[in-house]
A and B are shown apart, each in its own frame.
Chain A
Amino acid sequence: MTLEELQTLSARIDELEDRLRQLPKWAFEEKEADKCFLTIAQVREKLDKVKDQVITVGLLGGTGVGKSTIINALAGEEISTASHRRPHTEKILMYHHETIRIRDFMMPNEAPVVCLSHNADRARSLILCDLPDFDSVRKEHRQRVLNFLDNLDMIVWVVSPEKYADQVFYDFLKAALEKKSPGNFYFLLNKADLICDSEENRTLLWRVVENFRGYLRDSGIDAPIVYAVSALEVFNADSISSWNQWELFEREIFREREIKEVEAIKEANLKQMLDNLSLVVTNCEERMLPVRRLISQLPEALKEHKQRMDYQVKMIVNAWADSFLKNADQEILDFGTLLVGPSRLIFSLVEIFSKRRQFCDAARGTLDSPPDISQVLKQLSNRLTSFVMSKNLPAPVSEELIRIWSFSELSSKWVAGVNTYLETIKTMGLSGLVGWKAFIFRLKQYLSFWIIALVFVASMGRIWELKEPFSWNSMLWAMLKCCERMFSLDGFGALLSFVMIEILVGCYFVSRYRKFLREVAQKFIETIEQEIFQLWDDFVSELCEDIRREGEILLAGSENSVGEQ
């Protein structure tokens, strides 16, 4: 492999690893994640070994097809026993040239292995392996073979005329295709002598071979290379029948391979593994798509509902504010100092007679209890929950999402937010009439009351009857007259009317005062309403943010949790 090719392969491994790391845990099926990372590690390890000039060839097949006979024929002597009794071969036999240190070429696994060395030069760079079967009642044989697959570069699949249509063979072939390139497979139809013992039956043999090749093509081998052989004939007899393709097969196996070809063989297997991994990763990425879609859809769904919820929240806050208003317009407002004289008196009287005193304490409570939008929150929570649950997402995903908008979460957040706000309100004072406006109001009152009083005194004292206006004597005289008058019956009537007029004027000022109170309270309430509504808006946007953030976490890779080798 040239440096370029090596680099391309390395880059591909790195790319796949990156993609793997970016997948969240829930996108994998059970244990798939570990398998994937294991594959990456294996590919990396094998990449280093590509330079080794040794090819490991394994014989794979069902029990009784003749694998041991074949390896004996290849070796030229009986290195592995064959028998009529089944199953026979239990251990893996590795047949290698004496110059090869076998331990260097094996991945660690626990298969019982027998190593035999030879000095046949023609097989200098080969390791031939006889393996147990994969279809007998001894299930451990199959596992052993599966585990050993990692060590093989080329596979010779062996069938017999009886077994070439067995389902288990094709199942195993499919499993091997995940790790090995089909270009490195050879197919042997052993025991061909059972079909064809003479020239005449050659057509029969070819029919079988074609039948077999058809099945292989169906299983994904595009150009299957099938040799019809009889290993027994090769082993026992001196001459080989013309239909026995053993020599072709043998030549192919022992062919001197150039470095490039050896590397290409190993590289092909690596690529096969990467292709398979790529498929798995793509599947996982596809599994993420609906989740991604949902998370982008959620803020939309939220906004759709928001309009309706806005209205409801507005109504609730209005009602809350109104009840607040009805009962407690004075609780936070205390401008009693604005009223003077009779108006003050009337105000206090009214307060005593009205039940407002009782409401004061109850009203104080309203600021402590924020508007109750639990209905709306509940509805929001349930709507989002049913939306997510109907999408059939993997359980960890939907659970995490549903947790964000659980009713208790939302409720506690909202209550906390509103309460903090209301606290600030309580400490805040309210400005009322300040400065010159207050002064003018009080001035008006004073003026009215004093003018009336003066008029009363003046009328009592009959000022207009005074001959000499505005001398101290006449004033004194008027005063004395006034006092005298006061204690007569007329005076009594006059006093009464004076009091009535003062009271009426006082009532007028009280009503003016109340109107003012009302306006201030109204404005205050409106501000509170607006701010609470703003709080609601912020609440919803924060929820959207939370959802988006959680979505990012869910879609992020699981770098810490999935282990590396």
Chain B
Amino acid sequence: MARIWVYAEMTAGGVVEKTALEILTKARTLDGDVEAVALGPGATAAAAILGEHGAKTVYASDDPVYGEYVAWPASHALHELTKEHQPNLILFPSTYESRDVAARLAARTGSTIMSNATDLLGASSAQTAIFGGSLLVDVTLEGPDPKIVLVRPKSFDAEPSGGSAQVVPVEVAIPDAVKRSKRVERIVAESSGPKLEEAPVVVAGGRGLGNRDNWKLVEELAGAIGNAAVGATRAVVDAEWVPYALQIGQTGKTVKPRVYLAVGISGATQHIVGMKSSDRIIAINKDAEAPIFQLSDLGIVGDALKIVPALVQEVKSRKA
């Protein structure tokens, strides 16, 4: 039977990155023994939640070295563990941290590395979505084990199954030679309102808003709705209207709110992959041919600069 590992990235706060729990939930339905590797402060304690989500064994180390230096110590430890336990497949969350860990590991093992998986089909097969999610591609992974796959956030719902995991302490020595990319400081951006990835409503703006001054319309609408987060397209971020932390899409965040309201967004592939799984999608755009309308439950072809102020009033009156 295949041995399937999930890299349970530990966040700065000492908890498991949520995507790892999503991946475990799916991995436990595959034909294989599912185990997790957690490296960094909080790892041993995290074995409980990893077990609940399907890991039978958790290889854990609470050594702070994994947080103090980016990627290299973790990929080094994973490589040593891989030689000892010989997993067939290692699944990583598609995050800034895990992407570097997975890549360095793949370069060491010479294994295939697949990014942006949106579904898992077996120990050597995964699915990805291309062209804004309009096509699904089944990929067969070849070459030496472990196959390495990065899975996009929110590809699955995380659900506990009530299991528990055996903890195996990781005792890999980390040589100084891999302690070279030093994390000096962590800065958390100030933000108000709900987190973009967790908000029940996301109001997102694109270049169709015309200029930076009109961005306040998006914020006013989110404020009027309440419990809504503000997001943006890459074009708007590149134009420096808003910080990168608001970017939704391929290179930004993946969101899955109950309602996604796209204002002046045409629906470029790069954006769609980050929001297409939203429960309901509303779009406002001048161009009736904009691809965003193909995904929309409700689409209004018109001028966002007129519709949004009116919508703010409509929302306020319905909430009153």
Are both chains from one complex? no
> A interface vs B, CB < 8 Å?
none
> B interface vs A, CB < 8 Å?
none
